[in-house]
Structure 1
Amino acid sequence: MEASQTSGTRRAAGRPKIGDLATSDVVVRLRTPEGRDEWLYCHSAVLAAGSKYFADRLSDDWPTCQILGSRYCVEVYCQELDLSSHVTALRLLYAAEPCSRFGVRGALGVLQAAVHLGCARIAAACVDYLESAPWDEADEEEILRTIPCLGPQYDCVLARLRPIDPAPVTSIFLSAFRHATSMHSAPELKSAAQEQLEYMLTEDDDAPLLVFDDDIVKSQVKDCVSGLLNRFGAFMSAILMKPKEAPLGRDDGGLQQELHSFVSDISWACQILSKLEMMKCVVVYWTGVSSDVVEAVDVVCVGIDCLKTILKVIEVSAKVLEAIAFGNIVLPTEKRYDAVNVWIGFAQRAKPLVEQPERDDEDGDAEAPKINLDNEVWQSLESAIVSIVLTLPSNNQADILSDWLLSKHAKYPDLTEAFEVWCYRSKVAKRRLSFLDHANRLS
């Protein structure tokens, strides 16, 4: 044991050390354009063995300049910011195992210096570290600026940043979509799935992560949404049947929370489906159950605590009516008439509830909830209602406008535009359609 330790000590003692003036036979002079110099006393055998740059400079074929007696001087030019990395690379030539654990930025600097000096072993150690180390966003940007300039042999560092093949993206999207629309997924997983799916399809500075042109994929998305809507329908049926058998307890927050969860998921699904141009399944369903949705909300949601759920219902209805108003989804007259009637009444009752907390807060209730929808949602709902009303037959418009003018909540939605158009059309109708009477007499 003692003999082994003694042998190891001798080997360590016999290893050259950078900066050892007594044994050094080469001076490396690091120079920068700013005039900074760094002198390092080194050993030609170590330098030539670990660096192609120094192997070439110290060979007999390279003209050298002798200074300081018998020592050679090798000049290395580098930028000021790279000076410390070159010093580190030279020191690593003396290490038994090159250590590259200087953090991502430090490893990048040493890698550049190693490439400059032709230190293959040090460069490989830096690459291994960079491939395995965690990166933050700033590290990633620095890597993207640095690695492509070093040569294709170092592109392996960029593996985690390269675009992924379409097949895995589609698989991840469908799996995440199932979690996002499932009632059994953990809340954290569902929330993350919904957030990331929305990001994947967002058109910002970059193109969406995937584009759907596969009918099979769309079919699977539709199946997930249909499952969500069917579960919501069963939930509403259970609620609407209970009052006939046994009245619901008004203090039961579980049903309200479940209703809120369903409507939130449907609202999120609308955002995704609108990007995929697949809103029809939700629009047809929602317009068909509008009366049931309103009745279920009236049964379950009592008091100001349910305002979040009520506003989520408004949010979904705005998206549905907007799809109808833009002509993206074509529905029969009767369905448009029934849907717009239901949601005008619901919106008229919901708007005062939103404004109530603000009045309470002014009276000194510091704990009054401040819950509201984005003004754009209210405006889009109002605009959609006006557009749909104007697509209806004149008599249907008259019924809606009559109820609106008689309502104490005529302030919202503002159907003034629809009223003006209806008045104009009604007044000039006989004159504009007089050609029909003439054609009928001729026939």
Structure 2
Amino acid sequence: MEKTIDATHYKFNDSTTSDMTLRLTNKEGQLELLHSHSIVLKNVSKFFEEQISSQSLEIDIHCSDVDYDHHMEFFKSLYLPDDSLLDSWACVRSAIGVLQVATAYSCEKIISSCIHYLEAVPWDDKEEDEILKAVSKLGPIAMPILARIQPVDLNATKGVLISAIRFATSLNEPCAPFGSELKTSAQEQIEYMLNEDEETPIVMADNEVKSEIRTGLSKISSTFENELSLLLVEPNIEQNTIVMQSLSDLEWLCGLLPKVDLMKDFVSNWAEISDFIVRTVEDLKLDDSMWGLKVKVMELTARVLEAVGYGNVILSPNTRVHLLKTWLPYIRKMKPLLDLKSNEDSNFDHKMDEDLCQGIEGAIVSLILALPSDDQADILEEWMREEHVRYPDLSEAFEIWCYRTKSANRRLVEGFEKGENCNSTLPFTLN
């Protein structure tokens, strides 16, 4: 194989000049004869160099239906000039098949060409798995392909993630002609990179990444507050757009923050500004408008109530009571209004869907039952004073409160009687 010959002087499957025959047989026993040239095969393949002798003018090649076409393409490629070989590969799957055949016959020229082609073209996930299988035993010659799929340096990964977080939490106008698609894509990829699955732990959720997320959260929250306050001064379409975009970004962050243990940052801030939000959206200037804003605010509040109500975020009893007393009247007022609007206008699409309603109701019940008994009583008393109470349904919380109250009184009496029998004093005073 040391002697270089010009294969283009010969033609593929040319019986007039061939000096040997390849007998291709597939798994069904179908036979096809290829008229070949020993000098071409020996020059490019160690396998054929060892097989070919003056006494052997025929070589049997067994292949399956799957790789039969790849064998044919491989033998045809042996006759192509070097400068056109790279452009001859039709697609990734074809190049993978030919690479496997070339590897079996130790044909370095074709192996190298297939690798250069595969390194330069895009693959899908399934093709990548096939490529890895095909090059797994090739050694250094496969490095151009392996360089594309080897793990990225951890610092580089973190740099990409931080840049994506900055872009995803940016307040800039969408870039034409992509609109908000680039930002949405960045948000989706951040979720993917930080998602914990069965095989890969959370990627780079270190202090630097958390700091960047906190900065983005603070920036978006401040923008939301500022623009929401301006709606009452001089409302316009641009401000409305910024407010709704801020809420959309905050909603996305609500899905991200639990993965990096930062949900409390959002919940605490939302609790602090709840009075301001409710006061603004209930202002007479917005009395019969901005329905999308009013629904979106409740969707975010549902996230907060769920986080606190189910114990994922721990707040003080006073903060939890304040959260409930701020939002419960608003939710109780807004739900029938939205239902009325929807019934009057079939095109009215700002309403609370069933999942949102059930989520809020369940979270409120859980939140009430985790409060001190007196605070539970105050909230339930106010709830029952309302006429035509329909939503949220707090009857479950009321039933449990009644049972617990009776049980507490029974324990109190039992403790008192036990104290009398033991001639002891109770550790508390009965009023």
Normalised by the length of structure 1, the TM-score is: 0.82
Verify the 8 A CA contact 1:200 1:210 in the aligned structure 2: yes
Rounded to whole Å, the distance in 2 between the matches of 1:84 and 1:181 is 51
Q: 3-state DSSP class of the match of 1:39?
A: strand
Alignment of 1:36 onto 2:15: no
Rounded to whole Å, the distance in 2 between the matches of 1:123 and 1:146 is 10
Residue 201 of structure 1: CA displacement? 2.7
1:317-332 aligned within 5 A: 317-332=301-316
The change in CA–CA distance for 1:302 and 1:40 in structure 2 (over 3 A counts) is farther
2:319 to 327, 335, 353: 335
Verify the 8 A CA contact 1:101 1:107 in the aligned structure 2: yes
Alignment of 1:136 onto 2:136: no
1:277-292 aligned within 5 A: 277-292=261-276
Alignment of 1:101 onto 2:89: yes
Residue 237 of structure 1: CA displacement? 4.0
Alignment of 1:350 onto 2:334: yes
1:26-425 aligned within 5 A: 26-59=20-53, 64-65=55-56, 72-97=57-82, 98-99=85-86, 100-148=88-136, 153-154=141-142, 156-184=144-172, 186=174, 187-204=180-197, 206-207=199-200, 210-212=203-205, 214-239=206-231, 242=233, 248=234, 252-299=236-283, 301-303=286-288, 306-356=290-340, 358-360=342-344, 365=346, 368-372=347-351, 375-408=354-387, 410-425=389-404
Q: 3-state DSSP class of the match of 2:171?
A: coil
Q: Bigger CA drift: 283-292 or 144-153?
A: 144-153
The change in CA–CA distance for 1:17 and 1:389 in structure 2 (over 3 A counts) is same
Residue 222 of structure 1: CA displacement? 1.6
Verify the 8 A CA contact 2:7 2:79 in the aligned structure 1: no
Q: Quick one: percent identity of the two aligned structures?
A: 36
The change in CA–CA distance for 1:293 and 1:81 in structure 2 (over 3 A counts) is same
Rounded to whole Å, the distance in 2 between the matches of 1:322 and 1:371 is 22
Give the corresponding residue for 2:177: none
Cα distance per residue 1:311-353 (max 9 Å; x no partner): 2211211111222223333323222111111111222233234
Residue 57 of structure 1: CA displacement? 1.0
Residue 428 of structure 1: CA displacement? 4.3
Verify the 8 A CA contact 1:85 1:109 in the aligned structure 2: yes
Cα distance per residue 1:81-140 (max 9 Å; x no partner): 212211221121111122442111111111111112222111111111111112234433
Give the corresponding residue for 1:68: none
Residue 207 of structure 1: CA displacement? 3.2
Rounded to whole Å, the distance in 2 between the matches of 1:13 and 1:154 is 25
The change in CA–CA distance for 1:200 and 1:13 in structure 2 (over 3 A counts) is closer
The change in CA–CA distance for 1:145 and 1:119 in structure 2 (over 3 A counts) is closer
Cα distance per residue 1:372-398 (max 9 Å; x no partner): 555443323222211222233333222
- Look up the equivalent residue of 2:319 and give its one-letter code: K
1:3-22 aligned within 5 A: 15-22=9-16
Alignment of 1:431 onto 2:376: no
Cα distance per residue 1:33-57 (max 9 Å; x no partner): 3212121111111111111111111
Verify the 8 A CA contact 1:357 1:370 in the aligned structure 2: no
Rounded to whole Å, the distance in 1 between the matches of 2:161 and 2:291 is 32
Verify the 8 A CA contact 2:231 2:240 in the aligned structure 1: no
Normalised by the length of structure 2, the TM-score is: 0.84
Verify the 8 A CA contact 1:263 1:313 in the aligned structure 2: yes
Rounded to whole Å, the distance in 2 between the matches of 1:202 and 1:375 is 28
Q: 3-state DSSP class of the match of 1:439?
A: coil
Verify the 8 A CA contact 1:31 1:75 in the aligned structure 2: yes
Rounded to whole Å, the distance in 2 between the matches of 1:230 and 1:117 is 67
The change in CA–CA distance for 1:173 and 1:15 in structure 2 (over 3 A counts) is same
Verify the 8 A CA contact 1:200 1:208 in the aligned structure 2: no
Rounded to whole Å, the distance in 2 between the matches of 1:80 and 1:331 is 67
Rounded to whole Å, the distance in 2 between the matches of 1:287 and 1:203 is 29
Verify the 8 A CA contact 2:308 2:314 in the aligned structure 1: yes
Q: 3-state DSSP class of the match of 2:60?
A: strand
- Look up the equivalent residue of 1:190 and give its one-letter code: K
Verify the 8 A CA contact 2:342 2:351 in the aligned structure 1: no
* Structure 2: gaps (5+ residues): 175-179, 417-424
Rounded to whole Å, the distance in 1 between the matches of 2:42 and 2:340 is 82
Verify the 8 A CA contact 2:8 2:81 in the aligned structure 1: no
The change in CA–CA distance for 1:203 and 1:410 in structure 2 (over 3 A counts) is farther
